[in-house]
Amino acid sequence: MLWHGNRAPAVAGVGRLPVSLWHSTQESASRSTWSPGVGDVGAARPVRHAWPVAPDFPENVLLPRLAWLLGPEGAAAVALAARLQGDGTDLLPGLGRLRAEVGADNAGAAWELARLRARARPVFGADADVLFFTADTLEQAGRPRLAERRAARLLAGGADSVADLGCASGTDTVALARAGARVLAVDVDPVARELTAANAEALGVADDVWVVAGDAVELVAAARGGEVAGCGAAVLDPARRAGGRRQLDPDRWSPPWSTVALLLDRMPTCVVKVAPGLDHDRVPDGVEAEWVSVGGSIVEALLWGRAVSSTWRRATLVHDGEVHEMTADADPGPATAGPVRSWLHEPDPAVIRSGLVSLVAADLDATLVDPTIAYLTSDARAGTPWVSSYRVDEVLPFNLKKLKALLRERGVGRVVVKKRGSAIEPETLARRLRGDGARTATVVVTRVAGAPTALVCSAPSGGSPRAGEG
Ligand SMILES: C[S@@+](CC[C@H](N)C(=O)[O-])C[C@H]1O[C@@H](n2cnc3c(N)ncnc32)[C@H](O)[C@@H]1O
């Protein structure tokens, strides 16, 4: 049995790399002898259980709770909590029932884990029922299906060992192990490490996962010869929130942008998850940037190491289990602008963020309504998943009174407002435009050739997916 943390003395030889790893006396000798990233230290064995927690573990109440949740009593309490929640039992009576069985502290932990598993289920599927999360790590977790896709692409060139630099609760670690890699899962956070160890165990990939305490900043600084911590590939998913707030400045991510840039420089086989709003100017030459959308929202943005990159930019859209991709080997430049025609097309955000709107415009024989706005217009309805299309019924300078009158005249009651390039607040405007009529209209408030304009459109048709999945 191997366990790990950030305080115990490193096993001999480990010190030369910025990870620390130690093991219990019951360490299994039957595991593979591969020891990723810790030199030739035989102590590095796949993680089996991370429990029991050492008495001198950092003062973190989560760890003892987690240790208990992993045992049979904890599992029974979580199952009971899940049943109570499934039956619609409210928090206080539910906790009261659990308290009577397992005491106050454990009752809270069981209730919380059952709640997090229920929240994870739509995205993690049946795996959610055996996984361990904290609210923070669940919020930071990527989508397992996309993690699988990333893992497959990362390993396609033959890499068989991967450093997951900032594993949190192990979504990427598990996907990489399932894809056949041996994974060195690194995190500065002891709770994250315990969760990854527990989740690797719960999903049956523990034999291929090593969990260690380490600082990705130092590991990446020590990367040489296309390897980091002894692994031929790396995944880096920096924490982009701090104190509950999104960190917009990449220099404030953890690890910061300097580590991202260094990894991309030193590790040809790597992938970095970045914020969807990342400035294109930050993307180094030769590095492919990809934006992925599911259900009409961007869910991840990726920078691929140079050995994995195969294009300049890629937009990826997941719809009904199908993956659609659009690529450009060089900047295609902006689309041209022209007058509003019979159809308005709203490009998928992955297309917009990746800078590929002009490719869609060329495909649809469409133009922009304004050089600065990502709405396209053409004479025909689009048959592509890359846009949502609306039939344009009226175009008028934006004027609330005239807009209201027009909608009344057309028998419109319910109004959906969309906007781009306007300061209006869509919900507020929709309320103000609401009438008694039976019809529904979509009102698009935007700029056309620089002028504030309202487009009264028929409900969306064709094309783009808007239902969540993935
Ligand atoms: C966004 S989360 C990773 C989420 C994970 N890929 C998933 O999908 O579940 C970032 C993780 O990086 C860890 N982290 C932040 N700075 C780090 C550093 N310098 N070294 C190692 N881990 C770090 C955080 O503790 C956190 O667990």
User: DSSP per residue over 268-306, as a string?
Assistant: SSEEEEE-TT--GGGSPTT-EEEEEEETTEEEEEEEE-T
Where would I find the H helices in 307-356? Answer: 349-354
Residue 85 has pLDDT above 70, yes or no: yes
Number of domains in the chain: 3
Structural domain boundaries, residue 350: 343-457
- Do both 116 and 240 map to the same domain? no
Residue 436 neighbours by CB distance under 10 Å: 8
Is 190 a pocket residue for ligand 1 (Cβ < 6 Å)? Answer: no
Is 221 a pocket residue for ligand 1 (Cβ < 6 Å)? Answer: no
Residue 239 has pLDDT above 50, yes or no: yes
Show the tokens assigned to 279. Answer: 């400035």
In a domain, 226, yes or no: yes
- Higher per-residue pLDDT: 464 or 177: 177
Residue 7 has pLDDT above 90, yes or no: no
Residue 3 has pLDDT above 50, yes or no: no
Comparing CA positions, the residue from 199, 145, 207, 135 lying closest to residue 167 is 199
Atom 27 (ligand 1): residue with closest C-alpha? 168
In a domain, 3, yes or no: no
Final residue before a domain boundary, out of 328, 362, 390: 328
Query: Is 275 in contact with 254 (CB distance < 8 Å)?
Result: no
pLDDT category at 60 given cuts 50, 70, 90 is low
Is 430 a pocket residue for ligand 1 (Cβ < 6 Å)? Answer: no
- pLDDT score for 241: 87
Residue 32 has pLDDT above 80, yes or no: no
Ligand 1 centroid–CA 187 distance in Å is 6
Final residue before a domain boundary, out of 106, 137, 168: 137
Sort strands 245-246 and 313-319 into parallel, antiparallel or unpaired.
unpaired
pLDDT category at 460 given cuts 50, 70, 90 is low
Q: Which of 19, 167, 184 to mutate to test the pocket of ligand 1 (most atoms within 8 A of CB)?
A: 167
In a domain, 37, yes or no: yes
Residue 259 CA: nearest ligand 1 atom is 19
Could you report the per-residue pLDDT of 396-413, keeping only the tens digit for each? 999 999 999 999 999 999
In angstroms, the CA 262 to CA 459 distance is 48
- pLDDT score for 363: 96
Residue 240 CA: nearest ligand 1 atom is 1
- Higher per-residue pLDDT: 62 or 181: 181
- Do both 390 and 375 map to the same domain? yes
In angstroms, the CA 433 to CA 102 distance is 55
Could you report the per-residue pLDDT of 126-171, keeping only the tens digit for each? 999 999 999 989 999 999 999 999 999 999 999 999 999 999 999 9
Sort strands 367-370 and 322-328 into parallel, antiparallel or unpaired.
unpaired
- Do both 281 and 230 map to the same domain? yes
- Higher per-residue pLDDT: 23 or 340: 340
Is 166 a pocket residue for ligand 1 (Cβ < 6 Å)? Answer: yes
Is 186 a pocket residue for ligand 1 (Cβ < 6 Å)? Answer: yes
Ligand 1 centroid–CA 333 distance in Å is 35
Q: Is 188 exposed, middle or buried (0-12, 13-18, 19+ CB in 10 A)?
A: middle
Residue 14 has pLDDT above 80, yes or no: no
Residue 23 has pLDDT above 60, yes or no: no
In a domain, 470, yes or no: no
Is 216 a pocket residue for ligand 1 (Cβ < 6 Å)? Answer: yes
One-letter-per-residue 3-state SS of 90-148: CHHHHHHHHHHHHCHHHHHHHHHHHHHHHHHHHHHHHHHHHCCCCHHHHHHCCCHHHHH
Ligand 1 centroid–CA 327 distance in Å is 29
- pLDDT score for 244: 81
- Higher per-residue pLDDT: 104 or 182: 182
Atom 9 (ligand 1): residue with closest C-alpha? 141
Is 187 a pocket residue for ligand 1 (Cβ < 6 Å)? Answer: yes
In angstroms, the CA 464 to CA 319 distance is 8
Residue 438 has pLDDT above 60, yes or no: yes
Ligand 1 centroid–CA 140 distance in Å is 8
Least confident interval from 27-31, 117-121, 213-217, 446-450: 27-31
Atom 11 (ligand 1): residue with closest C-alpha? 166
Core vs surface per residue 78-110: b (16+ CB within 10 A) or e: bebbbebbeeebeeeebbeebbeebeeebbbbb
In angstroms, the CA 346 to CA 89 distance is 43
Hey, is 420 helix, strand or coil?
Answer: coil
Could you report the per-residue pLDDT of 245-268, keeping only the tens digit for each? 889 999 999 999 999 999 999 999
- Do both 101 and 151 map to the same domain? no
Atom 1 (ligand 1): residue with closest C-alpha? 239
- Do both 358 and 412 map to the same domain? yes
In angstroms, the CA 245 to CA 239 distance is 11
- Do both 193 and 308 map to the same domain? yes
Final residue before a domain boundary, out of 268, 295, 328: 328
Using left for φ > 0, alpha for ψ between -120 and 50, and beta otherwise, residue 391 falls in beta
- pLDDT score for 361: 98
- Do both 193 and 176 map to the same domain? yes
E strands present in 379-438: 387-397, 412-419
Amino acid, single-letter form, for residue 305: G
In a domain, 270, yes or no: yes
- Do both 213 and 169 map to the same domain? yes
Confidence (pTM): 0.85
Helix, strand, coil shares of the chain, percent, nearest 5, are: 35, 25, 40
- pLDDT score for 233: 98
Is 356 a pocket residue for ligand 1 (Cβ < 6 Å)? Answer: no
Residue 254 CA: nearest ligand 1 atom is 16
DSSP secondary structure code for residue 245 in this structure: E
- Do both 171 and 310 map to the same domain? yes
In angstroms, the CA 309 to CA 290 distance is 10
- Do both 22 and 79 map to the same domain? yes
Comparing CA positions, the residue from 357, 371, 365, 369 lying closest to residue 383 is 365
Omega cis (within 30) before 255: yes
- Do both 178 and 223 map to the same domain? yes
In a domain, 7, yes or no: no
Mean pLDDT of 115-127: 96
In a domain, 266, yes or no: yes
Is 188 a pocket residue for ligand 1 (Cβ < 6 Å)? Answer: yes
Comparing CA positions, the residue from 231, 191, 224, 227 lying closest to residue 210 is 231
Listed in sequence order, the residues at least 6 apart from 329 whose beta carbon sits closer than 8 Å to its beta carbon are 311, 312
Is 348 a pocket residue for ligand 1 (Cβ < 6 Å)? Answer: no
Is 142 a pocket residue for ligand 1 (Cβ < 6 Å)? Answer: yes
In a domain, 466, yes or no: no
Query: Is 65 in contact with 106 (CB distance < 8 Å)?
Result: yes
Using only C-alpha atoms, the chain has a radius of gyration, in whole angstroms, of 26
Residue 462 neighbours by CB distance under 10 Å: 15
Residue 142 CA: nearest ligand 1 atom is 8
- pLDDT score for 321: 82
* Percent with pLDDT over 70 in the chain: 84
- Do both 363 and 433 map to the same domain? yes
Is 201 a pocket residue for ligand 1 (Cβ < 6 Å)? Answer: no
Residue 462 has pLDDT above 90, yes or no: no
Residue 38 has pLDDT above 50, yes or no: no
Identify the bridge partners of residue 456 per DSSP, sorted by sequence position. 394, 443
Ligand 1 centroid–CA 156 distance in Å is 24
